[in-house]
Amino acid sequence: MNVKFTHYVIAAATLLFSSNVFAAAPIKIGALFAVTGPAAFLGEPERNSAKMVIDEINKAGGVKGRKLELIVYDTAGDATKAVQLATKLIKDDKVVAIIGPSTTGETMAVIPVAEKEQIPLISCSAGSKITDPIKKWVFKTAQNDALAVGRIYEYLQKTKQTSVSILTVSDGFGASGREQLKVQAAKYGITVVSDDTYGPKDTDMTAQLTKIRGTHSQAIICWGTNPGPAVIAKNARQLGIKTPLFMSHGVSSKKFIELAGEAAEGIKLPSGKVVVADLLANSDQQKKPLMAFVKDYQKHYKAEGDHFGGHAWDAVMLIRHAVENGADTATGIRDQLEKIKGFAGIGGSFNYSAQDHAGLAKDAFVLVEIKNKDWVIVK
């Protein structure tokens, strides 16, 4: 074969290969996010983060030459709609995995669908019941509320605050948090002296806070997601309540600070490390991916990458890891997810196993305080 012809063959083969890098069918990933509605502060950054990271993966050549195709549906935070859309993703769109939903209530509603159809579901919600007890096809990236409660109670124990009042929202997230707040109290030498709830759409909680004010508790713990906790912060300020106020990780974004305004000052809460990424020690194995995520999100959306968007980023990257290890079917992805160890993500360092589909330990949280409309780490 002459040299000129050989070069032609090589060039043609190279061109053929490069044009067929994505010739294999894309790997379809479904996503259920509350992009609109009351939980949009969760779903919008989740959708943005998932799209951002999948676009970047595909621009870099995909995963093992396969494109990742993201199919996103907006649940508007509605559990019934989430079930319908999960079914659509599986039956019509033929996805091999689903990321989301954004809330605990939606996730609990979708779990039976994922289990029946044998499709891995990686929830972006925090409720402990999502993965406890273990469901074969269900994983999660949001830090468990059990860990969040433990982080608050450790601080209260350390500061010798032994009596608390709890005020929780009457939805899936609030119910799960309320259960953990009550179950874990005795372990830390804490007494729950007042236990009250509020509705997801309530716009005034002065009645509950007036009752709490009469208990002389040493701390108030509110468990909910925006906008309710911001209303509680404002109501507490209006009532002149000086008792330290703690929130859940469900408000770990700048949106809460915007909603609560001056009433946010001094509030403490457990949070994923992303909101204080720049304050972390260089030795923290999460710092590098956290800083990269924050800068990337800022570049794409001119806003801060937050705790919630990080849940979706982690979910996509965990699926990518599974595909890199040879999985391209629902069963293969599920099996590979269960083997993941030491994955440094946005939410923490993930270690899944057959006995643990939440994958995070208490070091996934830091306790933060709001000072001058920003976050500081509580030492």
User: Which tens digits make up the pLDDT trace of 347-370?
Assistant: 999 999 999 999 999 889 999 999
The answer, yes or no, to whether residue 2 has pLDDT greater than 50, is: no
- Name the average pLDDT for the chain: 93
pLDDT of residue 114: 98
What is the per-residue pLDDT across 59-101, written as a single tens digit (0 to 9) for each? 999 999 999 999 999 999 999 999 999 999 999 999 999 999 9
- Buried residues in 289-317 as b, exposed as e (16+ CB within 10 A): bbeebbebbeeebeebbbbbbbbbbbbbb
Comparing 262 with 253, which gets the higher pLDDT? 262
For 1, other C-beta atoms within 10 Å of its C-beta total 7
User: Has residue 15 got a pLDDT over 80?
Assistant: no
For the segment 261-279, the average pLDDT, to the nearest whole number, is 95
Contact between 229 and 212 (Cβ < 8 Å)? no
pLDDT at 11 over 50: no
The string of pLDDT tens digits covering residues 30-63 is 999 999 998 999 999 999 999 999 999 999 999 9
How far apart are the C-alpha atoms of 257 and 262, rounded to whole Å? Answer: 8
Match 């699926």 to its residue by tokens: 319
From residue 337, give the alpha-carbon distance in Å to each of 37, 314, 327, 371.
Answer: 31, 12, 10, 39
pLDDT at 7: 43
159: left (phi > 0), else alpha (psi -120 to 50), else beta? Answer: alpha
pLDDT for 302 equals: 93
Evaluate if residue 344 carries a pLDDT over 50.
yes
Asked which of 6-20, 209-223, 238-252, 315-329 is least confident by mean pLDDT, the reply is 6-20
Q: Is the pLDDT of residue 8 over 50?
A: no
From residue 340, alpha-carbon distances to 140, 292, 320, 345 in Å are 13, 21, 11, 12
Residues 211 and 196: beta-carbon distance below 8 Å = yes
* Contact in structure between 301 and 50 (CB atoms under 8 Å): no
User: pLDDT grade, residue 106 (50/70/90)?
Assistant: very high
Range 103-125 average pLDDT: 97
Per-residue pLDDT tens for 290-318?
A: 999 999 999 999 998 888 999 999 999 99
The predicted pLDDT at position 367 comes to 97
Q: Whole-angstrom Cα distance, residue 238 to residue 236?
A: 5
Would you kindly state where each structural domain of the chain is located, as residue ranges?
27-144+286-364, 146-278+365-377
Among the listed residues 132, 122, 140, the one whose alpha carbon sits nearest the alpha carbon of residue 180: 132
146-278+365-377: CATH topology is Rossmann fold (3.40.50)
Residue 221: strand, helix, or coil: strand
For residue 1, pLDDT over 50 is answered with no
pLDDT of residue 216: 86
For residue 335, the one-letter residue type is D
How distant, in Å, are the alpha carbons of 77, 126, 144, 306, 346 from that of 293? 25, 21, 21, 9, 8
If you classify domain 27-144+286-364 with CATH, what class do you get? alpha beta
Q: Quick one: pLDDT at residue 304?
A: 85
Average pLDDT value for residue range 272-295: 92
Q: Is the pLDDT of residue 326 over 70?
A: yes
